[in-house]
Chain A
């Protein structure tokens, strides 16, 4: 970054004496634009010594996926994005037959159960109920008076969602793969933590009269940022980061304007 060409130094007007030809008496002051000495690279030093980087929504150690970072002035956009309360999409992998202490497959084993009675329809039924109760919670925590016409219109369009702090709410669940004992779910949620998603997998196991642990949590979308915008580890260099910031700038601006007005 520091090797990149800098801004040209500021210029200012100085009244400099020019030696008049001939007689050495009258010294004229002539206004000239000279660069400010304070802007000289040898005086200032390297332009960037530290970078302020802020993180978007948390992603814990055992999970993977899209992680939004703000650099420098972008940190202010991070707070605006947080206040937009957009949904995040996770791909959650689970395993039937085990129950552990921290709901993931690396924890201490508590119990093993049978799972041959579980079918895809039973799983989808449970997922439908989870969606139903969470949809109700979505409407309740959005703090809109249910008796108004505008509440009805927002509910029809599906735009009601909580705009302040609220407990984790799941807006949609779908079963992507089902091959007992393994299964994979796609979960759209708000205000959640990855441990909450693991707990949901554990509770799905309990509802199906068996037990389940979570093997994988991967965030595939965080608000407007999807997997296509995300940079894998091989691309963590200056050029790709710059391109990524440039590509996302417009998206972020339109989203913030749409939601926060």
Chain B
């Protein structure tokens, strides 16, 4: 009598190999699989600036609102976001699509810096806090052809740059920072007014918001400014308010400027030859290499011998530049990134590249971009890693800890970081997934 089926015994090598070859093959990603674009946010969330409503108003009654998001959190967006900017408690996201909705805003809206957001409960009133990315309606002449190139946010105003219809400004205008005449006792909350600026010598290619002033850089290399000028940040030779964008002169007259930067009350501009010019507040030794005065109202050339400068970024008290070789120099006041002993310097100091991961193992790591928040710095390497350092105000560094960071520290983001926007207490990054 045979046993049922026969004794099996352990499978022989041949049986194993045949079973392997007969196994089905799964495909998780095809050959033409694209890398996905994602947006990650972190920092102080109670103002709604992160765009996740469940942080401020949790869905279940027993959950507590999350005041601070200390590590990167993915923000689901419908469109691919090409440009983002963080203001003081609010965020703007823009996509360069030709659809009707091009810009979304979230966070504080007490001065209509996010435009008019009609409240659903009362159709006559607007929202003071916007908790999730809401579309901002722009008065475009050709809404299905114009593209939004860049956005920028200041303390209570925002600027939106389009490719063919000039610059749109909205928000607080008590110092003329929106480029229109200051109206006495104007109420800025729930205002529908979005101003359009078109009169420049050529097309505007970059807009930058300082705390209460705005800078415009045109294609011809000229810089225009308007807004609050008591620290000389408008660079027009006086300390008064300017309500119409006016061209800057001084050391940058005739120079082809390729980048401007500002976030607080100091401004930096980089020319195509690699020189850097500065004006504005110098109480923290930002411009002390050329002058002893604490307010500089005319652009001055900063004679630094550190090589050709590619990019510059201004923070509230410290400045950072990136040279052509991929090295990073910092100066100013505050946590500059060279340990707790370096608190202030008027001359740029280089941050050792070994802190960004350069070693004998990886000799070709370079910094590709530098960004500044109010008291934080961020650097992006060519491998797509994000390094942050500075004061960790309400968890804005994204390291997961609440302590200040005295030297560059990696932020763990699941993807390759393409761009980052720094604000006072939160940050937004545009990330490409790995595969």
Contact = CB atoms under 8 A, between A and B. Distances in A.
Interface string B314-353: 0000000000000000000000001111000000000010
B31 A109 contact: no
B357 A131 contact: yes
Contact of A147 (B20, B357, B406): B406
A244 B28 CA distance: 51
A209 B20 contact: no
Given A147-B403, A152-B407, A109 B23 contact: yes
A112 B434 contact: no
Contacts of B434: 122, 125-126, 129, 207-208
Given A117-B33, A132-B412, A158 B354 contact: yes
B385 interface: yes
B410 A117 contact: no
Interface in B399-435: 403-407, 409-410, 412, 416, 434-435
A225 B403 CA distance: 40
B27 interface: yes
| Residue with the highest number of chain B CB atoms closer than 10 Å, among A109, A126, A156, A188 | A156
Contacts of B357: 131-132, 135
Contact of B405 (A111, A125, A146): A146
A164 interface: no
A111 B416 contact: no
A151 to B, nearest CB: 8
A136 interface: yes
Contacts of A147: 340, 403-404, 406
Interface string B367-396: 000000000000000011100000000000
B29 interface: yes
Contact of B359 (A133, A148, A158): A158
Contact of B361 (A113, A117, A133, A172): A172
Contacts of B26: 111-114
A101 interface: no
A131 B359 CA distance: 12
Contacts of A209: 28-29, 33, 435
Nearest to A126: B434
A33 interface: no
A157 interface: yes
A109 B20 contact: yes
B25 A113 contact: yes
Contact of B31 (A116, A148, A155, A172): A116
Nearest to A152: B339
A3 B30 CA distance: 69
A28 interface: no
A149 B25 contact: no
Contacts of A133: 410, 412
Residues of A in contact with B, size category:
35 or more
A229 interface: no
A117 B31 contact: yes
Contact of A117 (B20, B29, B352): B29
Nearest to B29: A209
Nearest to A114: B27
B290 interface: no
A176 interface: no
Interface string A122-143: 1001101101110110010000
Contact of B355 (A148, A156, A188): A156
Given A125-B416, A132-B410, A156 B27 contact: no
A205 B31 CA distance: 16
A174 interface: yes
B340 A174 contact: no
B24 interface: yes
B406 A136 contact: no
Interface in A76-120: 97-98, 109, 111-114, 116-117
B19 interface: yes
A151 B352 CA distance: 14
Contact of A114 (B25, B359, B416): B25
B407 A148 contact: no
| Residue with the highest number of chain A CB atoms closer than 10 Å, among B26, B352, B435 | B435
B341 A149 contact: yes
Interface in A21-39: none
A210 B28 contact: yes
| Residue with the highest number of chain A CB atoms closer than 10 Å, among B339, B355, B405 | B339
Given A116-B31, A125-B416, A209-B33, A146 B435 contact: no
Interface in A149-197: 149, 151-153, 155-158, 172, 174, 188
Contact of A136 (B19, B359, B412, B435): B412
A247 to B, nearest CB: 25
A128 B361 CA distance: 11
A170 to B, nearest CB: 11
Contacts of B354: 155-158
B340 A148 contact: yes
A157 B360 CA distance: 12
Contacts of B19: 109
24 contacts: A111-B23, A112-B25, A113-B26, A117-B29, A117-B30, A125-B434, A128-B385, A129-B434, A132-B410, A133-B412, A135-B357, A146-B403, A146-B406, A147-B340, A149-B340, A152-B340, A153-B339, A156-B354, A156-B355, A157-B354, A207-B435, A208-B435, A209-B33, A210-B29
Interface of A: 97-98, 109, 111-114, 116-117, 122, 125-126, 128-129, 131-133, 135-136, 139, 146-149, 151-153, 155-158, 172, 174, 188, 207-210
Given A97-B25, A155-B407, A172-B362, 11 more contacts: A112-B26, A117-B435, A129-B434, A136-B409, A146-B405, A148-B340, A152-B339, A152-B340, A152-B407, A209-B28, A210-B29
Interface of B: 19-20, 23-33, 338-341, 352, 354-355, 357, 359, 361-362, 383-385, 403-407, 409-410, 412, 416, 434-435
Minimum-distance CB pairs A-B, first 5 = A152-B339, A209-B29, A209-B28, A172-B361, A114-B27
